[in-house]
Amino acid sequence: MKKNVKPKKKIGQHFLSDDNIAKKIIDLVNFKNHRHIVEVGPGMGALTDHLVDSAKNLTLIEIDNECIEYLEKKYLNKNLEIVSANFLKYDLKNFKNNEILIIGNFPYNISSQIIFKVIENRDIVSSLTGMFQKEVASRICSDSGSKTYGILSVLTQLFFDVKIHFDVSPNVFNPKPKVNSSVLSLQRKKSINIDCDEKLLFKIVKLSFQQRRKKIKNSLKKLDILEIILEDSIFEYRPEQLSSSEFVKLTQIISNEPI
């Protein structure tokens, strides 16, 4: 069995090499609350080593064939499933339950896309725990009024409670990334009250932050909103000043007219 797999820059691999950090991440997981654990990009199994004996149903999703070969040999007699796939293209409905935990040392180049996929599949994914670039983790958890508050913040916080648990130095990875990392968790909200057209809501959030320095009434000109509706004071704010719930209110106001 090959002892090491060489990390591949083109797919953003940075293998976690500190077992203490791996343990700290796994300690954040309450295994009783999840019917299925899905690890994204397990690499050489730094997290998997601690998951394999704790998770009743464990699936590893890995895109790198060399890693897959390594993992198949390493966990030959263990009760887990290894799927060769691009997580971003994989249909999570294959798991057929609504209590999935997504976990991983996520490749930085697709970490935001992973969050958007989790939001899209929030009826299936109940929580996420993983490693992100510190800057991205900060954006996800930012409050309104912050310079880092944006699309990722609003859409994630509509459906999930978010928390940064601890920061991680580049020194615990092979190769060392040029940025610091943070371990973040998302927990699906027990009560989600999105009483509006969700498709329109997503469109409004994205349009608003495309011109974040402009007032809402200017950044949403593409929607051709009636002047009488634009008289509402909410249109005088900039997008970074609105909370996620206020974006819901904004969508309700706009949807009262035909668009």
How far apart, in Å, are the Cα atoms of 209 and each of 57, 214, 221, 229?
39, 9, 13, 20
Average pLDDT, the chain: 93
CA distance 118 to 123: 9
Output 4 or 100, whichever has higher pLDDT: 100
**Whole-Å CA distances, 11 to 65, 92, 139, 180, 216:** 12, 21, 23, 18, 37
**Hey, what domains does the chain have and what are their CATH numbers?**
9-188 (3.40.50.150), 198-254 (1.10.8)
Q: Indicate the helix (H) or strand (E) that contains 113.
A: helix 111-120
- Residue 86 CB contacts under 8 Å (≥ 6 apart), including other chains: 63
59-112, pLDDT tens digit by residue? 999 999 999 999 999 999 999 999 999 999 999 999 887 789 999 999 999 999
Q: Read off the pLDDT of residues 128-157 as tens digits, 9 standing for 90 and up.
A: 999 999 999 999 999 999 999 999 999 999
Question: Alpha-carbon distance 191 to 160, whole Å?
Answer: 10
> Coil, strand or helix: which one is 81?
strand
CB 36 within 8 A of CB 97: yes
Residue pair 124/215 in contact (Cβ under 8 Å)? The answer is no
Strands 100-105 and 125-133: parallel
Share of the chain above pLDDT 70, in %: 98
pLDDT for 207? 96
Residue 255 has pLDDT above 60, yes or no: yes
Q: Which pLDDT score, from 0 to 100, does residue 90 have?
A: 97
Distance in angstroms (rounded) separating the CA atoms of residues 248 and 3? 52
Query: Which of 117-121, 188-192, 229-233, 255-259 comes out lowest in average pLDDT?
Result: 255-259
Whether 177 has a pLDDT exceeding 60, the answer reads yes
Query: How confident is the model over 18-27, as pLDDT tens digits?
Result: 999 999 999 9
- Contact present, 130 and 104 (Cβ < 8 Å): yes
